[in-house]
Amino acid sequence: MSASTASHPLASAPQVPEAPLSYRLARRVTEYGRLMRLDRPVGTWLLLWPALWALWIAGTGRPRPQVLLVFVLGVVVMRAAGCVINDFVDRDIDPHVQRTRDRPLAARRVSPLEALVLFALLLAAALYLVTRLDLLTVKLAGIGALLTVSYPLCKRFFPMPQLYLGISFGGWSVPMAFAAQTGALPRVAWVLYIAAVIWASMYDTIYAMVDREDDLKIGVKSSAVLFADLDRLLIGVMQAMMLGALVLVGRNLHFGRPYHAGLAAAGVLCLWQQWLIRKREPAACLRAFLNNQYVGLVVFVGIMLQYVYA
């Protein structure tokens, strides 16, 4: 061995083999999936239930298969797009929050440019899906897309971004579903939309209770911060308002026992959520938030059974 080779600091260092291309691609795809929250489908269900409520009511229990397929796929795609753009906007905030610091953008495992490209691809997919429907639905989808893109900015200045979440993500599929199924926007569509908006505002307030201490430190606005020690009371008020709006939907449509049984089950779940958040413990608040997927389910089952046994 020559003197020059022996003295080189890396001469005896082991060479680490480069990972196979297939492995590296799998890692990227996994990170993109996490960025789109594909590993956490609860959020998709929370957005899908109001769309299904509306499709079943607008279709009198038999929504058109093409419309149903477009809405299911559209909810999945738009929820993914919303998560990507939210994490892009919050990429410098999320590292300071315990629950979000390991997200791909916050942990710098995905670059901002990659996130923007992924967001653009998801929007293109959503645009393709919605163009399978009528012009009124396309116009409403355009409004919904603007609401979706603007939502992540709300927490910078709007004291209750959870309400804006309900207006945009949580409920906008309801008027779109009526437009796609019937070509019209009857009064019951807007009552159901109000119920969905209130419901999303409520469950996202519970979700915000998980991060309240971190949000207070870094100055992020949320309804949990705004409500302070009145949070449980005001969540209860929203739960009652949501159920009340759904009762109005049932009265307008002359629904009977199956539907009201579904609402009764939803009311029991709301009481369970109040029990869970009674001490405002983050883990229990997260459980209460997750429990809302079953609220949406029992309301949908009530609507479906109403048409089966009508």
Q: What is the pLDDT of residue 15?
A: 59
Token pair recorded at residue 194: 């109000």
Min mean pLDDT across 147-161, 192-206, 284-298 is at: 147-161
Phi and psi at 27, nearest 5°, equal: -65, -40
Asked if 115 and 87 count as a contact pair (C-beta separation under 8 A), the reply is yes
Q: Is the pLDDT of residue 75 over 60?
A: yes
Q: What is the mean pLDDT of residues 4-25?
A: 58
Q: Tell me what pLDDT residue 8 has.
A: 47
Write down how long the chain is.
310
Q: Which residue has the higher pLDDT, 151 or 13?
A: 151
Q: What string of DSSP letters covers 52-70?
A: HHHHHHHTTT---HHHHHH
pTM for the whole structure? 0.88
Q: For the segment 27-66, what is each residue's pLDDT rounded down to a tens digit?
A: 888 988 999 998 888 999 999 999 999 999 999 999 999 9
Domain range list for the chain: 37-212+221-308
Mean pLDDT taken over the chain: 89
Q: What is the CA radius of gyration of the chain?
A: 23
In Å, what is the CA distance from 163 to each residue of 44, 102, 224? Answer: 18, 26, 12
**Contact (Cβ atoms closer than 8 angstroms) between residue 261 and residue 165:** no
| Contact (CB, 8 A) for 213 and 115 | no
Share of the chain above pLDDT 90, in %: 61
Q: Specify the fold of 37-212+221-308.
A: Tetracycline Repressor; domain 2 (1.10.357)
